[in-house]
Amino acid sequence: MSQKRTLVVMAIAALALSGCANGESTAPGDSDTLTIGTILPPTTFDLEGREWGNASPFYQAVYDTLLSATPDGGVEPRLATEWSYDGDETLLTMELRDDVTFSDGSELTAQVVQDNLEAFQESGATAAVYLAGVTGIETTGEHSLEISLAEPDPAFLNYLARDPGVIVSGEALNDESLAGEPVGSGPYLLDTSATVTSTSYVYTRNPDHWDTEAQHYDELTINVYEEPTAALNAIRAGEVDAAQLASNDNRAEVEAEDWDIHTVELDFQGLLLFDRAGDMNPALGETKVRQAINHAIDRHAMLEALQGGYGSVTSQVFPEHAMGFDPELEEHYPYDPEKARELLEEAGYGEGFVLEMPMSGALGSTPYTLLEQQLNDVGIVAEHTDSGNNFFADMLAPKYPAAMMSLEQNPDWQLVQFMVAPQAQFNPLNSQSDELDTMIEDLQYGDGQEQAARDINTYLVEEAWFAPFYRVDAAFATSEGVQVDMLATNAYPNVYDIRPQS
């Protein structure tokens, strides 16, 4: 999921977008049509507005990516069949399929891939930052190319399995009509005559697609639902075969319809303690104060109250599928108000202090009320200011030393680049230390990457850079006759991983 889209999804999850369902429920062998529901429509099918995350099925239906994400967090061949790095891991060599035809009749070549990557790198798309380290692309044959990187990027292959790796027909790449009429090599073709923009998207099987095993249905319909209750009603009426749930609020009702619930803990919710140097709030510059905040939070109560118990409490921001994940860190900070008060006293803040944070009305008032109560219990006065539509801008400016937030849990290097490295978007005060810089360098360049990732995670937890509450269950529901393999790295499964029950 792109960073920007992740934030938007968090902010409006409870208000998810709507549409009308027009599909029929299917059973194995009875129909070649699949109708699925999602919470967000695609902004556009062109380069500038290309997104991933919750919008990924709209793109995967019509476009192929160079690589494909796997349920265990790895990558596998898609348009690229082989790849390898040089010894410095700054030169990536890729071999491409030679049997791929786009919907306009043009063929996949290394030049088409080069043109796509360069165009996306120069576009205004949010995810274009993932290609910022690319210094050059050169074709070495009709179906082979080399990609040069300024420095090693351990997450680069993962990027090529999402929006940066989407490949559009070379002849349509700069066509203005691409926004509404995608020209790709994907398993399906968008039926624009049957599609209602922002409401219902209808796709038909691509007869020329190279991977027939990815085409489980003759027709695919993706409906968009504005209200969670609209999705629930569609499920009850048998108008969809699979659906993404905007939240866990209606999960019990969906399970009551004898639907299967498939989950992935993609995001964590908690506090981002930006001001680790104490520049805006001197108290946060003290490690013991940040540790006290962690001990002051009743994670189990928060999970039950805010997510109905669907999820896992945690004290770390590394996800379970990451190299750096350590199960022993899950409850490193048990709920202990007395310990929190002791740490505050030792740090010189026994009388407490005021902690200012922004507030987003889209999350509702309950999370803030619970947090204020728990922090106040140990002497910390949480003052929340409603930033309205400026929530993200104010948080990342930053105008506040800390903020409550829901963020995607990226694996290892992606996580470091997202919220830990000095230049990371969610490290707006550029926090760093010599010790942490060395660990980051070891993760990027060293041979012992797994140990480096674990060292970084341990450092972040012990230094209390964050105060995570829990990982949230992202739920995808399927009716009888439909099975799915969830992804560890995306809110939505691969569209070709949704298939008839075998």
DSSP 29-65: TT-SEEEEEES---S-SSSTT---GGGHHHHHHH-EE
Q: With cut-offs at 50, 70 and 90, classify the pLDDT of residue 491.
A: confident
Same domain? For 214 and 68 the reply is yes
Same domain? For 224 and 302 the reply is no
pLDDT at 25: 35
- What is the pLDDT averaged over residues 260-287? 96
Least confident range of 94-98, 264-268, 315-319: 264-268
Same domain? For 247 and 276 the reply is no
- What is the pLDDT averaged over residues 475-494? 93
Q: What is the CATH number of the domain that holds 494?
A: 3.40.190.10
Coil, strand or helix: which one is 197? coil
Of the candidates 369, 344, 68, 326, the one whose C-alpha atom is nearest the C-alpha of residue 213 is 68
- Residue 252 in this model has a pLDDT that exceeds 80: yes
Amino acid at 190: L
Tell me what the pLDDT averaged over the chain comes to. Answer: 91
Tally of domains within the chain: 2
- Exposure letters 380-418 (e unless 16+ CB within 10 A, then b): bebebeebeeebbebbbebbbbbbbbbbbbbbbbbbbbb
Same domain? For 62 and 24 the reply is yes
Reported as a single tens digit per residue, the pLDDT across 390-405 is 999 999 999 999 999 9
Give 239's contacts (C-beta < 8 A, 6+ positions apart). Answer: 21, 22, 23, 24, 25, 35
Same domain? For 164 and 277 the reply is no
- Paired strand residues for 91: 148
Strand 380-386 and strand 353-359: pairing? Answer: parallel
User: What are the φ and ψ backbone dihedral angles of 78, each rounded to 5 degrees?
Assistant: -135, -100
CA 211 to chain centre: 26
pLDDT at 247: 85
| Residues of the domain holding 46 | 3-259+479-500
- Residue 441 in this model has a pLDDT that exceeds 60: yes
Q: With cut-offs at 50, 70 and 90, classify the pLDDT of residue 372.
A: very high
Q: What is the CATH number of the domain that holds 411?
A: 3.10.105.10
On the CB side of 320, how many CA atoms lie within 13 Å of its CA? 18
User: What are the φ and ψ backbone dihedral angles of 362, each rounded to 5 degrees?
Assistant: -65, -25
With residue 253 as reference, give the H or E element that holds it. Answer: helix 251-256
Contact 452, 250 (CB under 8 A): no
CB atoms within 10 A of CB 246: 29
- Residue 1 in this model has a pLDDT that exceeds 80: no
Same domain? For 373 and 485 the reply is no
- Alpha-carbon distance of 408 to 253, in angstroms, equals 26
- Residue 21 in this model has a pLDDT that exceeds 90: no
- Residue 335 in this model has a pLDDT that exceeds 70: yes
Same domain? For 312 and 206 the reply is no
Same domain? For 84 and 149 the reply is yes
Q: Both tokens of residue 236?
A: 């009850």
- Residue 30 in this model has a pLDDT that exceeds 60: no
- What is the pLDDT averaged over residues 155-178? 96
HEC-encoded secondary structure of 284-309: HHCHHHHHHHHHHCCHHHHHHHHHCC
Q: Both tokens of residue 311?
A: 């999820």
- What is the pLDDT averaged over residues 278-286? 98
pLDDT at 5: 39
- What is the pLDDT averaged over residues 148-175? 96
Same domain? For 273 and 163 the reply is no
- What is the pLDDT averaged over residues 312-336? 97
pLDDT at 47: 87
Q: Between residues 112 and 124, which one has the greater pLDDT?
A: 112
- Alpha-carbon distance of 384 to 203, in angstroms, equals 46
Same domain? For 469 and 483 the reply is no
Same domain? For 84 and 145 the reply is yes
Contact 480, 27 (CB under 8 A): yes
Coil, strand or helix: which one is 237? coil
pLDDT at 10: 36
Percent of the chain with pLDDT over 90: 83
Output the CA–CA distances (angstroms, integers) from residue 72 to 198, 436, 478, in the order listed. 31, 28, 20
Same domain? For 276 and 253 the reply is no
Least confident range of 17-21, 225-229, 489-493: 17-21
